[in-house]
Structure 1
Amino acid sequence: MRVIFARNDLHRAMQSLHSIASTKNVLPILSNVLLDASDAGVRMTTTDTEVGLQLQGEGSVEETGKLTIPARKLAELVRELPDEDVRLEASESGQIQIECGTVHYKMIGTPADDFPSIPELGDSFFTVDAGVLRQMIQRTRFAASREENRYFLKGVYMHLSTEWLRMVATDSRRLALMTFAAEGLSDRDRGVIIPIKAVDEVVKTFTEDEEVKVAIQDNQVIVANDSAVLNARLVDGEYPSYSQILPKDNPIRFEVDREAFLTAIRRVSLFSDPKTTAVRLDIKETSVVLSAQTPDFGEAREEIQATSTEPITIGFNAEFLKDALTAADSENVAFELKEPLSAAVMRPSGTDDYLCLIMPMRIEA
């Protein structure tokens, strides 16, 4: 095998690939990247058996062949190479020579025979703009659980119907939901749980605003375009019936400038209890007073302009508020409230395609 890459092309590919390669020693070959050079070009693949990524490398094939190379070490050395062409040449013994300008390396490769195969995209798939997919992931994944024993919540729920695509994430104390209206994506109602590592790789891999193909097959989700195929094993579990969690009657509407509110929360929460990060909101008809206190530091208070249909005092985890407000990415946000201990719903003002549900915290009177 003999292949020539532009250094920047190889560097960009390895940055994506090496993060997926396994760092565990259960199966050593999983820490490698598979290079498959054929007349059709160079395919580069890494997998940890749960998430896999295959890229069509922008390399010139002078001699066909395939083998595997330690992914992390290859990524590290390519990062340090000068901006010149990189030549990779493998001997029959498995030794790989890497040359770039005056730099020379020799690495030990491994035969490709035992490298796991990557599922191919079948005939049943739907297409969606990658920009839409990235936005849906970025506005929901923060709410997924981080607790190991709640594995079915440690992912993003992708829910398909005949009229829309929806992403949902929750850790049972908050929930984020985004809907993309589109007909024909699915012929029936169905949903799957995609692991967090996989959705993060989708965001990193499919950076252009172009259509991608998405398939659900054989307990896998596959996302692909002409240059990349990402596959992930679905989380095995039953996702909660999220629609039953959403409040139906929250009559108090509180609206505020998103950036001003987010900035005030950041300032005031510096004095919140580190164990709870609780902030108190005294919501009035034309303003909201944010406050926090802790015996170790003292207290903080800030008042900003806002509007509310009626006054209410309520407490929230400051980190949950910051995550939700950052994800909302709008000029103003509206909170729908009922009682101090009832779930609150936050939406970007003027839209119904995105919401965050946040459970309040009990605060001292």
Structure 2
Amino acid sequence: MKFIVSSTALFSHLQAISRVINSKNTLPILDCFLFDLKDGMLSITVSDTETTMVTAVEVNESDKDGRFAVVAKTLLDALKEIPEQPLTFDISDNYEITVMYQNGKYSLMGQNAAEYPQSATLGENAVKVELDAAILLNGINRALFATADDELRPVMNGIYFDITTEDITMVASDGHKLVRFKSLAAQGKERAAFIFPKKPANLMKALLPKEHGQVTIEFDERNAVFTLEKFRMVCRLIEGRYPNYNSVIPQNNPHKVIVDRQMLLGALRRVSIFSSQASSLIKLRLEENLIVISAQDIDYSTSAEEKQACQYAGNPMSIGFKSTFLIDILNNITADEVVIELADPSRAGTIVPVEQEKDENLLMLLMPMMLND
């Protein structure tokens, strides 16, 4: 079989899906791209058995349909160096591949496509949901950093999609911090939920910025299929019950601090350098319209303190947080000002934007750390 395809179009699609491939695979065929040429469209598949991604490139001309597999790294590295031009692929019956370009040619060995594993299919009871690519990207961007790496509680290692007829909520938590991103601009036809694993969530995060329009998500108890404009991803879901996230969110934290997010972030970055390396503990002391950020490392006799203006009218109080977690949370909010809502030094604090984005409700929660004094 023989076909001609644009070098840059092919390379950009291959590069986008290549992130699926693991560095070590149990099956050697999983180190390959699966090429399937049919009616002038070249569809390319990659898989790690848990996640499969498919994309398609239009070819300029072809003589017949066919399928073959080719080692991904070799092909990617070879195409990376070729500027935009037509490439001619010629594949013999015993999978010898010749790639011809303007001033030269590559010769490499392909493999039989029959060995490539089939991607999972959904059951008849699959649920279907459509949402805007920008909403999905926003939710994944906000929540991904809060997912856990917990072998004992795998349900915490992904983003929980809670779908109702009024909204779609994306939740992530590692037991110390929690993110709840609710979009009122997307909803399902029925109540449903699934847990989206971290690896495919990261793959989606990389693909979605270039997408426009709707993303279709179909899922059953075991798998989900995400259909985008140029890509299709099938992934194994995390099975199990996600904890009741609403029950851990405090309903009434009386102490409210309004503070400039960037200024607080800058202070935390500076002061946290002097915190204990073991705990990263940072202390926030609240007084009337003033927040004092301090840290110390007794082992090295270092400490730092910084004062910032804020809006606060409650009783003076001190609370400790892990600085890296608090910095992460503030980095994942885009608003200029945030409200930190607290009850007492032993209970979770919530952090929300002063002004929520249109049709969005974003809440971040952080468990405190005990202060020694």
Which category describes the TM-score, using the shorter chain as reference length?
over 0.9
User: 1:221 Cα shift?
Assistant: 1.2
Alignment partner of 2:90: what SS? strand
Moved more, 234-243 or 83-92: 83-92
Which of 202, 209, 214 is matched with 1:211 structurally?
214
Partner amino acid, structure 2, of 1:149: L
Listed as ranges, the gaps of 5+ residues in structure 2 are none
User: 1:23 Cα shift?
Assistant: 2.9
1:54 to 2:58 alignment: no
Match of 1:3 in 2: 3
1:360 to 2:368 alignment: yes
Alignment partner of 2:100: what SS? strand
Moved more, 299-308 or 77-86: 77-86
Partner amino acid, structure 1, of 2:76: A
**1:95-134 correspondence to structure 2 within 5 Å:** 95-119=96-120, 125-134=128-137
**CA shift digits 1:109-137 (9 cap, x unpaired):** 11111212235688852211101100000
Moved more, 204-213 or 150-159: 204-213
User: 1:143 Cα shift?
Assistant: 0.5
Q: Report if the CA contact (8 A) 1:43-1:54 is conserved.
A: yes
Q: Report if the CA contact (8 A) 1:220-1:231 is conserved.
A: yes
Q: Report if the CA contact (8 A) 1:38-1:61 is conserved.
A: no
User: 1:85 Cα shift?
Assistant: 2.3
**CA shift digits 1:179-216 (9 cap, x unpaired):** 011465232x2211110011111111232232111111
Match of 1:70 in 2: 71
User: 1:297 Cα shift?
Assistant: 5.9
TM-score (norm 1): 0.95
Provide the C-alpha distance between the structure 1 equivalents of 2:192 and 2:186, rounded to a whole number of angstroms: 14
Match of 2:194 in 1: 192
Which of 284, 289, 308 is matched with 2:287 structurally?
284
1:257 to 2:260 alignment: yes
**1:1-365 correspondence to structure 2 within 5 Å:** 1-63=1-63, 64-119=65-120, 125-182=128-185, 184-187=187-190, 189-207=191-209, 208-217=211-220, 219-294=222-297, 295-296=299-300, 298-310=302-314, 311-351=316-356, 353-365=361-373
**CA shift digits 1:66-100 (9 cap, x unpaired):** 10111122222211223322222211111111222
Identity of aligned residues (%): 28
User: 1:61 Cα shift?
Assistant: 4.0
Distance 1:317 1:94, change over 3 A: same
Provide the C-alpha distance between the structure 2 equivalents of 1:61 and 1:278, rounded to a whole number of angstroms: 63
Distance 1:81 1:221, change over 3 A: same
Provide the C-alpha distance between the structure 1 equivalents of 2:221 and 2:302, rounded to a whole number of angstroms: 56
Distance 1:74 1:282, change over 3 A: same
Moved more, 296-305 or 161-170: 296-305
Alignment partner of 1:20: what SS? coil
Alignment partner of 1:230: what SS? strand
Partner amino acid, structure 2, of 1:2: K
Distance 1:278 1:250, change over 3 A: same
Provide the C-alpha distance between the structure 1 equivalents of 2:285 and 2:229, rounded to a whole number of angstroms: 53
Provide the C-alpha distance between the structure 1 equivalents of 2:192 and 2:312, rounded to a whole number of angstroms: 38
* Pairwise CA RMSD: 1.8
Q: Report if the CA contact (8 A) 1:82-1:101 is conserved.
A: no
Partner amino acid, structure 1, of 2:334: D
Partner amino acid, structure 2, of 1:312: M
Alignment partner of 1:314: what SS? strand
Provide the C-alpha distance between the structure 2 equivalents of 1:149 and 1:120, rounded to a whole number of angstroms: 28
Distance 1:309 1:100, change over 3 A: farther
Q: Report if the CA contact (8 A) 1:14-1:74 is conserved.
A: no
Q: Report if the CA contact (8 A) 2:40-2:60 is conserved.
A: no
Q: Report if the CA contact (8 A) 2:156-2:173 is conserved.
A: yes
Provide the C-alpha distance between the structure 2 equivalents of 1:266 and 1:284, rounded to a whole number of angstroms: 21
Q: Report if the CA contact (8 A) 2:159-2:170 is conserved.
A: yes
Partner amino acid, structure 2, of 1:137: I
